[in-house]
């Protein structure tokens, strides 16, 4: 940790205690912009977020807490959320074909052929009421 005029730097986090904010530097080759959006979104109830920088070279995320949250803790939680969503996106991509196969199976299961074995009604439940009990009583 280095200190310069009220600022300190921890790994990819630069803390400005006077201004009560921090800047997280994100490498877009490790975490793409979508992952940065997700991580910032998770912290929206606790901090204001401003995104900047060049999405090709370095993404800068300024976080200003809404309450008395410790700045270093907030920065580290943001880094944890980056990792969390990076793993989620990687797993989601790996499982995409499996999810599609399951969804296709579910949709195909609901398409029963008309008049086939699945359409038999041994209890007579599907018969219309009038067919089952006659056309109704005559009015007097």
Encode 59-70 in three state secondary structure: EEEEEEECCCCC
According to DSSP, residue 108 is labeled H
DSSP string, 30-45: TS-HHHHHHHHHHTTT
- Greater confidence (140 vs 111) lies with 111
- Residue ranges of the domains in the chain? 2-109
Q: What is the pLDDT of residues 1-37, one digit of tens each?
A: 344 455 555 689 999 999 999 999 999 999 999 999 9
Q: What is the dihedral of CA 121, 123, 128, 133, to 10 degrees?
A: 150
Kindly report the pTM of this predicted structure: 0.66
Span 68-110, pLDDT tens digits: 999 999 999 999 999 999 999 999 999 999 988 888 888 887 6
Instruction: Tell me: pLDDT of 132 over 80.
Output: no
pLDDT tens profile 2-11: 444 555 556 8
Q: 58 in helix, strand or coil?
A: strand
**Beta partners for residue 62, in sequence order:** 23, 50
Residue 107: the pLDDT is 83
CA 16 to chain centre: 30
Domain formed by 2-109, architecture: 2-Layer Sandwich (3.30)
Q: pLDDT class for 136, splitting at 50, 70, 90?
A: low
If you search the block for the tokens 């401003």, which residue do you land on?
Answer: 50
Query: Looking at residue 139, what is its pLDDT?
Result: 57
1 C-beta neighbours (distance < 10 Å), count:
9
């Amino acid at each position: 940790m280095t200190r310069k005029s009220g600022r300190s730097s921890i790994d990819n986090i630069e803390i400005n205690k006077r201004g009560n904010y921090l800047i997280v530097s994100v490498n877009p080759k490790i975490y793409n912009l979508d992952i940065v959006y997700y991580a910032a979104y998770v912290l929206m109830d606790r901090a204001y977020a401003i995104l900047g920088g060049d999405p090709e070279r370095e993404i800068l995320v300024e976080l200003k807490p809404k309450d008395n949250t410790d700045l270093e803790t907030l920065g580290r939680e943001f880094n944890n959320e980056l990792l969390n969503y990076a793993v989620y996106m990687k797993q989601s991509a790996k499982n995409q074909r499996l999810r599609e196969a399951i969804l296709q199976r579910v949709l195909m299961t609901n398409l029963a052929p008309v008049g086939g074995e699945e359409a038999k009604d041994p209890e007579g439940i599907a018969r219309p009421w009038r067919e089952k009990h006659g056309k109704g009583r005559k009015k007097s």
